[in-house]
């Protein structure tokens, strides 16, 4: 037997269940080397450093 709902879910109940599926703003921190905003625990896109060390050499 397949899964089948016993009763119909109302639109309000369905929408309340889906109310928490919203996008969040990404957390941003300042780069310790250049001061640009970046996602934490990632290499900085502007200077190429992570944890005060240069990971991606800049030309």
Q: How many CB atoms lie within 10 A of CB 27?
A: 8
| 30 phi/psi in degrees, rounded to 5 | -80, 140
pLDDT tens-digit series, residues 12-22: 999 999 998 88
User: Does position 56 have pLDDT exceeding 90, yes or no?
Assistant: no
Instruction: State the pTM of this model.
Output: 0.57
Indicate the SS3 state at residue 49: strand
């Amino acid at each position: 037997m397949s899964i089948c709902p016993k009763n119909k879910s109302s639109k309000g109940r369905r929408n309340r269940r889906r109310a928490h599926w919203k996008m969040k703003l990404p957390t941003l921190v300042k780069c310790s080397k250049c001061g640009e905003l970046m996602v934490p625990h990632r290499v900085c896109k502007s200077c190429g450093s992570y944890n005060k060390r240069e990971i991606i050499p800049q030309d």
